[in-house]
Amino acid sequence: MQRVLVANRGEIALRAIRACRRLGYESLAVFSSADANSPHRWAADHAICIGPPAAAASYLNAAALLETAIAMGCDAIYPGYGFLAENSTFVERCNEAGLTFIGPDSECISRMGDKVTARQTAAAIGIPIVPGSEQGFTSAGPAHAVASDLGFPLLLKASGGGGGRGMRVATGGEDFIAQFEQASVEAKAAFGNPEIYLERFFPQVRHIEIQVFGDHHGNHVHLGERDCSVQRRHQKLVEESPSPALDQPTRECMAEAAVALIKALNYVNAGTVEFIFDPASGKFFFIEMNTRIQVEHPVTEMVTGIDLVIEQFRVAAGEKLSFGSTFSEGRAAIEFRINAEDAAHDFRPAPGILKRWRPPSGRDIRVDSHAYENYAVPPYYDSMLAKLIVTGPDRVAAMEVAKAALARFQVSGLETTVPFHARLLQRPEFARGEVHTRWIEDNWRSVTL
């Protein structure tokens, strides 16, 4: 590889451009007209406006991205997360154009991208899965018959996507039809696929994910877990490692299951195998696999000392993994998503002008961001402005670093989630590690007001 088109925006685009610089590759940034003043445009060796603000006409415009890559002499494309990162058709088109896609192959993306097929694949090699339907449905009638057999409450999930979109909870037969139709419409809008499948709903579980990596030489390893249980509407807000909810035997079993899955897939590049963990029973269940780098990957980087984005480039270039199955896990790390959202009003998006932006810095503090003072936060994309990642010798120490960092985080001009995170750290339930995936929704007002 010599020249890489970075098919993304924001902080992950900046991260990829820096990786190119460290590895000696030229970088080509693409930006929409709404991102004309985004730093990733200036940081790259070359930059081209890819289209108007709407993502469908810019960052999701596969034809325009491929034409730009070819015209500018690129030989690789880095997708980051979101947009086209898990689009198997886009990967195939990259391959047909002679471009290296810096990620897994299209077959793995397709197989794991269909949540029903992913469940079947995991079950076939003995990984426990959440009880649910054996197929997806595009109409509520047939799904309702299966739902009655499975029993309520049920989680309705989009077969062709993730990230909380196309996801609803049906507490009984009386609201199933309405919830199914809403989930299906949202899935169609988000992923172009209205199909919904059904899973047993656990009201108080932890969301645990295992970072995995594979290369072209048959090496498949994990890099420990991240606990992503602090969520609202299935959107992650805080992630940490190690999980305060797991004992060592469970941690090891979960990691072994994740590695078994990627070995069965002959998976190459970065990925994340996701589970739910039920503290009441001590059991865990596979829910899905994300075939890309995750927003929360810096948590793993801070714990292990491994640059995962650099590793993505190296593996795509045909190199062996630079690490084995053993690595240092001697520290704890926590990531807080700093979003342009008003937590006091149900996390309502709050685009606008950042009149003041002074992130904290110092030992054990890392801030990944594309924001700056007087930056105009556009309303067209994800609301994340930054990721604050803190570390310490253990969880208690990391939390103290986080409290001090959030207190020094100066931002004005629009609402952000900085105050929310500061209040969250004061909650004894969080300090004890006793939250679950619906804890924010159950305690929303007491945490946000």
Which residues does the annotation mark as catalytic?
292
Amino acid identity of residue 11, one-letter, is E
Q: Which pair of tokens denotes residue 44?
A: 């790259």
Cα gap 405→425, rounded to integer Å: 12
Residue with tokens 């990967």: 91
Give the residue among 360, 358, 357 at the shortest CA–CA distance from 375: 357
Cα gap 163→182, rounded to integer Å: 16
270 DSSP β-pair partners: 213
Cis check for the bond before 203: say yes or no (omega within 30 of 0).
no
Cis check for the bond before 153: say yes or no (omega within 30 of 0).
yes
Q: CB–CB of 356/412 below 8 Å?
A: yes
Cα gap 284→205, rounded to integer Å: 9
How many CB atoms lie under 10 A from the CB of residue 361?
Answer: 10
Q: CB–CB of 203/153 below 8 Å?
A: yes
Q: What is the 3-state secondary structure (H, E, C) of 317-386?
A: CCCCCCCCCCCCCCCEEEEEEEECEEHHHCCEECCEECCEEECCCCCCEEEEECCCCCCEECCCCCCEEE
Q: Which pair of tokens denotes residue 279?
A: 């503290």
- Residue 336 backbone dihedrals phi, psi, to 5 degrees: -115, 125
How many CB atoms lie under 10 A from the CB of residue 295?
Answer: 23
Q: Which pair of tokens denotes residue 298?
A: 């810096």
Q: Which residues contact 328 (CB under 8 A, 6 or more apart)?
A: 304, 305
Question: What is the total residue count of the chain?
Answer: 449
Residue with tokens 């603000």: 53
Radius of gyration in angstroms for the set of CA atoms belonging to the chain, rounded to a whole number: 21
